[in-house]
Amino acid sequence: MFTGIVEEIGKIKGISRGEKSIRLTVECSKILEKTGLGDSISVNGVCLTVTDLYRDSFTADVMPETMRSTNLQQLKPNSPVNLERAMAADGRFGGHIVSGHIDGTGEVARLEKEDNAVWLTISADEKILRYVIHKGSIAVDGISLTVQQVDGSSFKIAVIPHTRDYTTLPGKRVGDKVNLECDLIGKYVEKLLGYGRKNDASGKITMAYLMENGF
């Protein structure tokens, strides 16, 4: 489990490509402290398992399903990546609950500067936007961010100077893909309510369904 607070920007040192998978070697320093084989590290928001450790880097395997559903396929040597170690039980919960299991990718649609903030508009599919709410949390490339606006095709986030300085966001350009993980709580609530199964054919929770279940 992660919090979406990036600890370090690492760099891709090497990529070994399989038919549909890759093996990444990530150069870093802080992330290696108290890290052991088998530990989990968030790489651009993707939970990966450490398979080898070196003095200045670690390696991790990326399976085909992860390649299909994230932007890791676009990485190349020297690409910067956001890194975060799994949360320690005695650590501060500075962001929100982040599992490292990506829901899908979005695309940077617009960048706007406003005083000390930079606004990012990110377009995404409806299957992701259904879980995105105004003032809610979302992980973008592993960064815990607050949703400032949302509509039927995109959402907007405002990035403060500290986040720009300590993450890969300054390098984003219009058209870039980003990994998105929605807040877990909304998905659990939806599942428990039987969304899409015990309501109407549209998949929406109806008044009739709520009345039938005592609401």
Q: Are residues 69 and 109 in the same domain?
A: no
Q: Are residues 51 and 17 in the same domain?
A: yes
Is the confidence at residue 120, as pLDDT, over 90? Answer: yes
Residue 37: how many other CB atoms lie within 10 Å: 10
- At residue 204, the pLDDT reads 62
Domain membership of residue 131 (yes or no) is yes
- The string of pLDDT tens digits covering residues 43-57 is 999 999 999 999 999
- The string of pLDDT tens digits covering residues 8-66 is 999 999 999 999 999 999 999 999 999 999 999 999 999 999 999 999 999 999 999 99
Q: How many domains does the chain have?
A: 2
Domain membership of residue 208 (yes or no) is no
Q: Are residues 119 and 169 in the same domain?
A: yes
Domain end among 85, 117, 147: 85
Domain membership of residue 211 (yes or no) is no
Q: Are residues 118 and 182 in the same domain?
A: yes
Is the confidence at residue 199, as pLDDT, over 70? Answer: no
Q: Are residues 111 and 68 in the same domain?
A: no
Q: Using an 8 Å Cβ cutoff, are 143 and 82 in contact?
A: yes
Residues in the chain: 215
Q: Whole-angstrom Cα distance, residue 193 to residue 142?
A: 28
- At residue 92, the pLDDT reads 75
CATH number, domain with residue 16: 2.40.30.20
Q: Whole-angstrom Cα distance, residue 120 to residue 30?
A: 28
Q: Are residues 146 and 81 in the same domain?
A: no
Measured in whole angstroms, the distance separating CA 167 from the mean position of its chain's CA atoms is 13
Q: Are residues 37 and 74 in the same domain?
A: yes
Domain membership of residue 149 (yes or no) is yes
Which domain covers residue 76, as residue numbers?
Answer: 8-85
Domain membership of residue 2 (yes or no) is no
Least confident of 32-36, 75-79, 91-95, 147-151: 91-95
- At residue 208, the pLDDT reads 76
Average pLDDT over residues 136-160: 96
Domain membership of residue 66 (yes or no) is yes
How far apart, in Å, are the Cα atoms of 80 and each of 69, 76, 195? Answer: 19, 9, 39
